[in-house]
Amino acid sequence: MSEDLAGRYAVCALDTKSSITGVNMTRSSIIKSTCVAATFLATSLSTPVLADGSGQNSNLACDDAMMRGGIAQLSATHATINTSILIDAAPAVVWATLTNFETMPTWSTGTLQGMTGDIESGGSVVVTFLFGVDDAGRPISNKIPHTLIFEDGEKIGWSDPFPADLGGGHDNHIYAVEACGDKTLFTQSDEIVDNPYAVNFVTQLLAGYQLFNRELKIAVED
């Protein structure tokens, strides 16, 4: 990491805000971030983090780290997550598991649980997504309508408005597969734009995205 980039790290104090319930999504707590310095936030992970935090490197060597992930705060209302994992299977095999939404709940314990509707480009779907916990500490299952981004065998996701009572703005979430030798580089990225809690959301969601990636790898390779 360059000295210039390192110098842009934000120093943030984190506390919790009382529970908020939205129309389509519920969370029991939200991390409120007060940044002392400017425009960039990086998290410390037990697994390797992308050095520049700016996005996934599609030319990642196939023998590189098994899992990578990072978050970036690009402005007060704009933050991103970029994660990846190397899976020992062909892209078609990974894609088949990723898009078998009926069986997804049997192996996925975090974030994405499946979707129903028109699985095609521009299709209307309802996504089942775990986010937040209830008073007993159990994950909350949210049903969220989305317009699908879909390129068969390559990527699936959405780019839709964020609920107004959760800060509004836009959510751009993509799951993608690409060949990496005879293996597959699976990437999961998310971008929250024009939302005052953007960095709070990506901070909370990162671990869940990495868990999904690991569980997808296990489901494919076992």
Q: What is the pLDDT of residues 142-197, one digit of tens each?
A: 899 999 999 999 999 999 998 888 899 999 999 999 999 899 999 999 999 999 99
Q: How confident is the model at residue 139 (pLDDT cuts 50, 70, 90)?
A: confident
Q: In this structure, which topology does domain 3-221 adopt according to CATH?
A: Alpha-D-Glucose-1,6-Bisphosphate; Chain A, domain 4 (3.30.530)
Indicate the domain borders of the chain.
3-221
Q: Coil, strand or helix: which one is 145?
A: strand
Half-sphere exposure in the Cβ direction for 104 (13 Å, CA): 22
The C-alpha atoms of residue 197 and residue 211 are separated, in whole angstroms, by 22
Q: What percent of the chain has pLDDT over 90?
A: 58
* Residues in CB range of 66: below 8 A, 6 or more apart: 47, 85, 86
pLDDT in tens, 38-53: 223 333 333 333 333 3
Question: Strand pairing partners for 109?
Answer: none
Span 47-75, average pLDDT: 59
